[in-house]
Amino acid sequence: MEAMLYKPLTKLNVKCLVCRHYCVLKDGQRGICGVRENKAGTMHVLNYGKTVAASIDPIEKKPIHNYMKKSNTYSFAAVGCNMDCPWCQNYLISQSPKPYKHIEGMYITPEEHVYKAVHYRCPSISYTYSEPTIFLEYAYDTMKLAKAEGLKNIWVTNGYMSKETLDLVLPFLDAVNVDYKGQNGLYEKYSLGNAQAILENMRVMKEAGVHLEVTTLVIPGLNDKPEDILEIANDLKTYVGVDTPWHISRFFPAYKMKDIQVTPKDTLLIAKKIGQDVGFKNIYLGNI
């Protein structure tokens, strides 16, 4: 189907407006995400309706710990991601369409997703496993239907969406968990992103009244030094406040980082202490 957010340019080129990359695509070219393609000057989204994973999860698995506690959430995803983190646990679906591969998934309509959430008595739908920004149209249509049925909408995201995408989904977004990796060029070197843009997006969501929780994956040799953790904590304090629940998670070898050791538990305990000293009220250690 035709994508929602893009701008036609000259000579059949288009500019994607879905995420902060703002890819400019020539005819026949796909974006960084692998699922948005310029076809003769019209940008098409290739993963609409193609569910690659669906499940019923405890909301704490997202992780969301301070919203709709002890409830189940109906979760689903389509393929694609606007980042390429070498430690990704879900790389088989997030990276599978890149650069010009087949788009996997079973066709399930937004109406079917909402019906299943209601049928299985899940009070919320989570857009998760890959990156909901990249299946925006699919998520957006589902979110509108879910809201009409009294369901809550939850995004689990890297936070690198555009202002245009945020403006579109905020009226229907109830809760979000954003992955924040830290500064010092970590995004630019490893993940095709930018820390400042993500911090700004988190602040916009928080100010809009969306329930926000943040997850930081602590990776040995990348962002595990006390000074790294302190900088992350201060970033979050400045942009979203110490009342925001902060999940500090343990790294396990995956994808392109199978030679990196598991994060020592003591590192997480030190990180928690640093967060508490900064003033965070709700800190949760994950993957331990």
With beta carbons less than 8 A apart as the criterion, state whether 185 and 207 touch. Answer: no
Helices 265-278 and 226-239 cross at an angle (nearest 10°) of: 40
Distance CA 99, CA 102 (A): 10
pLDDT of residue 149: 98
Give pLDDT tens digits for 10-64.
Answer: 999 999 999 999 999 999 999 999 999 999 999 999 999 999 999 999 999 999 9
Q: How confident is the model at residue 184 (pLDDT cuts 50, 70, 90)?
A: confident
Burial of 120 (0-12, 13-18, 19+ CB in 10 A): exposed
Percentage of the chain lying above the pLDDT 70 cut: 100
Distance CA 141, CA 144 (A): 5
128: left (phi over 0), alpha (psi -120 to 50) or beta: beta
Q: What is the mean pLDDT of residues 120-125?
A: 98
* pLDDT, the chain, mean: 97
pLDDT of residue 24: 98
The CATH number of the structural domain formed by 50-286 is: 3.20.20.70
Give pLDDT tens digits for 96-109.
Answer: 999 999 999 999 99
State the distance between the two ends of the chain, measured CA to CA, in whole angstroms: 42
pLDDT of residue 183: 86
Q: What is the mean pLDDT of residues 257-286?
A: 97
Percentage of the chain lying above the pLDDT 90 cut: 99
Q: Please state whether the peptide bond connecting residue 99 to the residue before it is cis, i.e. omega within 30 degrees of 0.
A: yes
Nearest by Cα to 81 from 220, 184, 183, 179? 179
Backbone angles phi, psi at 235, to 5 degrees: -60, -50
Give pLDDT tens digits for 58-99.
Answer: 999 999 999 999 999 999 999 999 999 999 999 999 999 999
Distance CA 154, CA 125 (A): 6
pLDDT of residue 12: 96
Q: How confident is the model at residue 166 (pLDDT cuts 50, 70, 90)?
A: very high
Q: What is the mean pLDDT of residues 121-130?
A: 98
Give pLDDT tens digits for 134-162.
Answer: 999 999 999 999 999 999 999 999 999 99
pLDDT of residue 94: 97
Name the pTM for this structure.
Answer: 0.97
Domain boundaries, the chain: 6-45, 50-286
Distance CA 240, CA 246 (A): 11
